Amino acid sequence: MSVTAQTVWNSCLEFIKDNIQPQAYKTWFEPIVAVKLTDNALSIQVPSKFFYEWLEEHYVKILKVSLTKELGEKAKLVYIIKMENTYGNKQPFTEKIPSSNRSAMKSQEVDVPLNNKSPELRNPFVIPGIRNVKIESQLNPNYSFENFLEGDSNRLARSAGLAVASKPGGTSFNPLLIFGGVGLGKTHLAHAIGVDIKDKYPEKTVLYISAEKFTQQYIDSVKKNNRNDFIHFYQIIDVLIIDDVQFLSGKTGTQDVFFHIFNHLHQNGKQVILTSDKAPVDMQDIEQRLLSRFKWGLSAELQTPDFETRVSILKNKLYRDGVDMPDDIIEYVAKNIKSNVRELEGAIISLIAQSSFNKKEITIDLARIIVEKFVKNTKREVSIDYIQKVVSDYFQMDIDTLQSKTRKRHIVQARQLAMFFAKKFTKASLASIGSQIGKRDHATVLHACKTVDNLSTTDKQFRKYVEDITKKLSV
Ligand code: ADP
Ligand code: MG
């Protein structure tokens, strides 16, 4: 058999494959194309300059050993960097720092001589000369641990966050998933971890990004044909923070790519921090393999803060804003606004604004008016108890019957409807709905929701039940 670039490279690959992790092989060697063999020089084509640098930094030894085995002591490796579509767009997270004297290219130092013919590569994700470029963290310094007041509602999540910040990638909290309802501090805490890491480990690359933006970038990269660069960009991050991962629901392409990025980071001891409005068991339309990864680390819940915590959050905020407010007014606001921290802050901000616009003193009466507006505007959540009452009234049965273990069809249906509406109208988790409606588990609730969905599209009578009860619950 004649010796060609392909056969030489295939033999190298066999050797390499036996000696490195499968995932690394897949990521870094499968995309390479052998192009040319002249004398003792093998030319291989790599997808980007970043790719070339990565190979040089991590795999030059194994490349040398394998190529020398095939071509003898004089073996040479020539990289050809494939020009991908280059875009003049501004680079979203990258910022060039004046290059140091140190040569960014290791090409002169390596034993396998290189012949790098790369023109300047520009695209949103590839970072030429990775050592000389900083990635903007996108962190908000105001969202610090110092400003994140501790209480029973957040103690676990907060201390897990602190642990992660002092040893990113080095604790069993990887990934750290912070979950909880709106306005409870997920974004704040996620930033605080990043800010603290940047403080303690300035050399680490930290990146905060919302799942929504991540998805958008991914879609763009597919359009522009630089999906690989997108992946490589994320694979060099030391601490990746993705906010609101529930946004990935149903987006299989993005989930896929995130799965690979996640695996790569995790395998390399990098830290991943995620936030979500639901616990992993309650996430819908997220691939099972991704969900199971989420459960590898720690899921910590942020709950609604108790009265004391609400008071201290308010006091801290007022102190930082330099506003003096009598304790009884602070307590009045804290007592009446319980849903979440964002609303609590909103109420206090409009109280301050009102008083300064109208040059009025902040009085308890003013507080009463403003709090009332806030409470009115935030639609009161129907409770699961109320839903059970409405549904059982509608079917003229009592709540005990609705909750009973019977398998009689009309009772099962009533129960399933109650579960369906609890899911639809409250923020309760599937597990919590199940435990309140006849002590069932979350799978039963999920099944109930699906059954109701199905029946209401196929069964006229059933659709009428759904419409009637919806009306009763909406008034
Ligand atoms: P989420 O991302 O969960 O919707 P955010 O992180 O945006 O919530 O928080 C909403 C607001 O409440 C932010 O202004 C945040 O600073 C504030 N906040 C939440 N929890 C706390 C806390 N424990 N201490 C101080 N401020 C908090
Ligand atoms: Mg948020």
User: Is a pLDDT exceeding 50 seen at residue 127?
Assistant: no
Cα distance between residue 316 and residue 196, in whole Å: 19
Question: Which pLDDT tens digit goes with each residue over 429-444?
Answer: 999 999 999 999 999 9
Q: Specify the number of domains making up the chain.
A: 4
Range of the domain at 192: 155-302
Q: Read off the pLDDT of each residue in 175-187 and give the average, rounded to a whole number.
A: 95
- Confidence tier at 354 by pLDDT (50, 70, 90): confident
Query: Does residue 403 share a domain with residue 343?
Result: no
* Dihedral angle computed from the Cα positions of residues 250, 255, 257 and 259, in that order, rounded to the nearest 10 degrees: -160
Query: Does residue 400 share a domain with residue 370?
Result: no
119 CA to centre of ligand 2 in angstroms: 41
Give the model's pLDDT for residue 123.
34
3-state secondary structure of 370: helix
Mutate to test the pocket of ligand 1, among 155, 188, 344 (most ligand atoms within 8 A of CB): 188
Mutate to test the pocket of ligand 1, among 159, 342, 348 (most ligand atoms within 8 A of CB): 342
- Residue 357 in any domain: the answer is yes
- Residue 354 in any domain: the answer is yes
Cα distance between residue 122 and residue 114, in whole Å: 21
The DSSP letter of residue 447 is H
- Confidence tier at 57 by pLDDT (50, 70, 90): confident
- Going by C-alpha positions, the residue among 322, 261, 250, 319 that lies closest to residue 287 is 250
Query: Does residue 360 share a domain with residue 294?
Result: no
Query: Does residue 348 share a domain with residue 292?
Result: no
Ligand 1 atom nearest 190 alpha carbon:
6
Residues with CB under 6 Å of ligand 1 are 147-149, 154, 180, 182-188, 313, 341-342, 345
Average pLDDT, the chain: 84
Query: Does residue 446 share a domain with residue 324?
Result: no
- Check if the beta carbon of residue 182 is closer than 8 Å to that of residue 277: yes
Q: Which of 98, 122, 147 is the last residue of a domain?
A: 98
188 CA to centre of ligand 2 in angstroms: 7
Residue bearing tokens 């068991």: 281
Compare 376 and 362 and report the one with higher pLDDT.
362
Give the model's pLDDT for residue 109.
24
Q: Which of 278, 302, 326 is the last residue of a domain?
A: 302
Give the model's pLDDT for residue 24.
75
Give the model's pLDDT for residue 475.
64
User: Is a pLDDT exceeding 60 seen at residue 133?
Assistant: no
User: Is a pLDDT exceeding 90 seen at residue 154?
Assistant: yes
Cα distance between residue 9 and residue 355, in whole Å: 75
Alpha carbon of 120 to those of 23, 132, 189, 373: distances in Å?
A: 29, 15, 39, 58
Ligand 1 atom nearest 151 alpha carbon:
23
Compare 27 and 406 and report the one with higher pLDDT.
406
- Going by C-alpha positions, the residue among 196, 185, 194 that lies closest to residue 156 is 185
- Confidence tier at 126 by pLDDT (50, 70, 90): very low
447 CA to centre of ligand 2 in angstroms: 29
- Residue 233 in any domain: the answer is yes
Q: Which of 328, 351, 377 is the last residue of a domain?
A: 377
Query: Does residue 271 share a domain with residue 169?
Result: yes
Q: Read off the pLDDT of each residue in 446-473 and give the average, rounded to a whole number.
A: 92
- Check if the beta carbon of residue 334 is closer than 8 Å to that of residue 310: yes
pTM over 0.85, yes/no: no
Compare 57 and 68 and report the one with higher pLDDT.
68
Q: Read off the pLDDT of each residue in 295-306 and give the average, rounded to a whole number.
A: 92
Give the model's pLDDT for residue 381.
63
Query: Does residue 54 share a domain with residue 88?
Result: yes
- Residue 457 in any domain: the answer is yes
Tokens of 391: 């549904």
- Check if the beta carbon of residue 114 is closer than 8 Å to that of residue 60: no
> b/e for 200-238, b at 16 or more Cβ within 10 A?
ebeebbbbbbbbebbbebbeebeebebbbbbbbbbbbbb
- Confidence tier at 166 by pLDDT (50, 70, 90): very high
- Residue 113 in any domain: the answer is no
144 CA to centre of ligand 2 in angstroms: 14
Measuring from atom 26 of ligand 1, which residue has the nearest CA? 148
Query: Does residue 453 share a domain with residue 358?
Result: no
Positive or negative: CA dihedral 108, 114, 120, 124: negative
Query: Does residue 413 share a domain with residue 327?
Result: no
The DSSP letter of residue 383 is P
Q: Which of 12-21, 234-243, 271-280 has the lowest mean pLDDT?
A: 12-21
SS3 content of the chain, % helix, strand, coil (to 5): 55, 10, 35
User: Is a pLDDT exceeding 60 seen at residue 461?
Assistant: yes
User: Is a pLDDT exceeding 90 seen at residue 282?
Assistant: no
- Residue 440 in any domain: the answer is yes
CATH assignment at residue 326: 1.10.8.60
Query: Does residue 444 share a domain with residue 353?
Result: no
